[in-house]
Amino acid sequence: MTLSLADAARLTAGATMWTTGAVPERNARSLMLADGPMGVASGRVDERDVSVLTPAPVAQGASWDLDLVAQMGALVGNDAITMGVDALLAPNVNMARSPLAGRAFEYYSEDPLLTGLCGAAWVRGIQSTGTAAVAKHFVCNDSETQRDTMNCVVDDATLRQVYLLPFEMACAAGCGGIMTAYNHVNGDWCAEASGPLAIVRDEWAYGGVLMSDFFATHSTAATLNAGLDLEMPGPARFLGAKAEDAVAQGLVSADRVQDAAERVIRFNQRFGGAKTPATLDSEELLTAGAAAGFVLLRNDGLLPLAPTIRTLAVIGPNATAPCYQGGTFARIAVTPDALTPLEAITATLGQHMAIVHEPGVDPQPRLPAMPVTPAMDLGDGCTTGLTVEYFAGHDLTAEPLSRETRATNSLVWFHGVHDQGRFNETGAVRASGWYVAAGDGAHRFYAGATGPVVLKVDGVEVVRRDVQPAASDIMGVLKAGDAAEGVVTLSAGQRVLVEVELRYAPARVQGLWYGVRAPDTPDAMLARAIATAAQADAVVLMLGETADASVESKDRSDTRLDPAQLHLAQAVRAANPRTAIVVNVGHAFDASFAADAAALLVAWYPGQNFGKALADVLIGTREPGGRLPMTLATQEADYPAYGLTPDDGGDLRYDDGLLVGYRGFKAQGKAALFPLGAGMGYTSFALGEARIADGRIVVTVTNTGTRAGSEVIQAYLAQSPYALVGFAKLHLAPGESATATIEPSPYILRSVPGSDAVPLVIGRNAQDAAVTLRLPR
């Protein structure tokens, strides 16, 4: 059945914020989309919409375990089924090209093959449940600075061999769709980039749907003619009915509009049918998956902790305020049952030893929580959070449109998505609750919003910010999350009414955020931490980021941890050398501060079972099974790609070319502090004979230690660009030997010039070669 031009044009734009159009007569129902990749994100950005939170892609990449990555995809697919979601905007197969990238936690690796293999495995996993994967962000959205306007300048070989490769592998795995990015690539908006889109459609013969990121289209004819099929979200802005007009004007062919519509129909038909949940032990998978990505980089024998320890000090801000994920619009509402690392360590080890804790530094340095009880009892059973009232205009003395209780300190409302109001019209919000002072002294209150905001304490204005950004700037204000502050002196136990009022102008999204910081001083916190460390038999020092450290539209300024945390690390190690440092970050970081640490463990963003996995690894019931998915440099100047600020013309030049990450270190003869693939477990391994058999690399591996453990054997090109060509992960019992079989990737070998045998090096990381082989063509 051929669609009318009007019906075909309608399908080129989403029906609503999160749905596609439907064609019932073609058995193509409307599909529900949601954001990812760490779980099924709430389209309402609502903390009550709890979903499974898996380890971040960087942690999954650190596992070097493709079966595990596929299971993570299936686990998210199961949750999507429960939530009525048909397609997830994931995986993110962009590249961790620079350690400053704001969304590096969503990327699997700095290596295109590891990224592509992980992305393809995740695609297969989620789509085994009948839920679509939509790989993103196509292409070269590898940084966040000026991402809505910047132009990535990249040569063809680099584009194909590095940045398109993970998308090609996702397409080969059958991903349901590809989502184009906000930026330009070689002068064209990604949604209008006819060159890269032609590679997808023609060279790869990809039959899935090509959709835009949300609000990332800028034209009608150029977008359709480049090959984009679906504009999101709906209602249409540039496609939809405008596609029909473009045909009438001779700017777009009717066949192109029909082709786009047919791709949307096939997408709807393929993923609109019955779903098949995977049979998984989600609790075990989340714990095992977190531990599998933990990378142990130093250990003088302190880990696993000895049972003779009588007092264990758990110090650091991330013990009680862990960073489970980054601050994007794909943020997951975490189950309230998730144990913090301190809670899990206490539950697991507390019956065997005394657990003592001090944060040492402020756990929430940017925007603290707002621990309050609702100003009103709405009969909803909520005993924590603020009462939030919605008003049609700016008059807060009027009767509110509605009320609800929200247990969060950050509210976001998209027009057409949230139930409580039309946020593209003038309106107001008031959030109010009772706060009980935690101590005597100065309390700092914070408030920020997408419009003029006032915070009052017992009716007295404490914070005022009268800025009304233009509608076009609202998204940037929301992502920045800046807040004004004011000080109120309170007595311990004093109960005060806190009211935060936002009066907003029309925009497609609105936001309000707030917090309060109880009195304490940095010097006092540090002194307590030093004293606690000194009297303990061993210390677990938990450092890292807060949830707003890795965000959309903002890259980092350097690779170092917060200066206060570095000072804490130095002081704690001086007080107690038996200190194991756990770093909770989502990107490559400066690890030189831990040069003399008894143990250094990188936990990444490990998902909701961070605490359980860490407790198990500390006592040795689980192994830290990860290896680095990216290089940690000795100094920042060594990174082949570092700065991410476009030039005055808006160009960001990919001058590192094919020599991204570890490849550049090798080409420049620079040793990394810790290279790609580095890491250890709690046992030791020996590599034996290596040979080529039937086009595969075969290596004998023996566990020479006294504990079961895993090892990752890696094969690299021995000539520039020194690319990873394959790997194998083995799990061996003490004394056990086995054969690691590595399939060299044809995606990498096809780009190696010449007809002679390909020289390879085999080892445990990108820097240290154990065996040299030649792979026949």
Annotated catalytic sites, by residue?
Answer: 213
- Per DSSP, what are the bridge partners of residue 455? 463, 500
Give the C-alpha separation, 692 to 687, whole Å.
15
What's at 66, amino acid-wise? L
Q: What order do you get walking across the sheet with 484-490 strand by strand?
A: 410-414, 509-517, 441-449, 484-490
DSSP H or E stretch at residue 730: strand 724-732
Residues in the chain: 777
Residue 126's nearest CA partner among 277, 314, 321, 334 is 277
Report whether 685 contacts 185 (CB < 8 A).
no
Query: Directed axis angle between helix 341-349 and helix 610-619, to 10°?
Result: 40
SS3 441: strand
Residue 271's nearest CA partner among 128, 469, 471 is 128
- Integer angstrom CA distances of residue 527 from 276, 444, 523, 572: 55, 22, 6, 10
Report whether 176 contacts 124 (CB < 8 A).
no
CB atoms inside a 10 Å sphere around CB 308: 9
Say which residues have a Cβ less than 8 Å from residue 711's Cβ, sequence separation at least 6. Answer: 681, 685, 701, 703, 729, 730, 732, 764
- Per DSSP, what are the bridge partners of residue 495? 436
Report whether 305 contacts 622 (CB < 8 A).
no
Give the C-alpha separation, 652 to 144, whole Å.
11
SS3 219: coil
Give the C-alpha separation, 644 to 559, whole Å.
13
β pairing state of 495-504 and 427-436: antiparallel
Longest dimension (CA), the chain: 82
Residue pointed to by tokens 């669609």: 3
- Integer angstrom CA distances of residue 526 from 299, 313, 546: 25, 14, 19
Say which residues have a Cβ less than 8 Å from residue 10's Cβ, sequence separation at least 6. Answer: 21, 240, 241
What's at 606, amino acid-wise? P
β pairing state of 579-584 and 538-544: parallel
What's at 245, amino acid-wise? D
Which backbone phi and psi does 179 adopt, to 5 degrees? -110, 125
Give, rounded to a whole angstrom, the gap between the first and last alpha carbons of the chain. 49
DSSP per-residue letters across 232-274:
SSSSPSSSTHHHHHHHHTTSS-HHHHHHHHHHHHHHHHHHSS-
Give the C-alpha separation, 413 to 421, whole Å.
9
Give the C-alpha separation, 604 to 323, whole Å.
9
Say which residues have a Cβ less than 8 Å from residue 61's Cβ, sequence separation at least 6. Answer: 69, 107, 108, 109, 114, 115, 118, 293, 629
Residue pointed to by tokens 């905007």: 89
Two tokens, residue 42: 């709430």
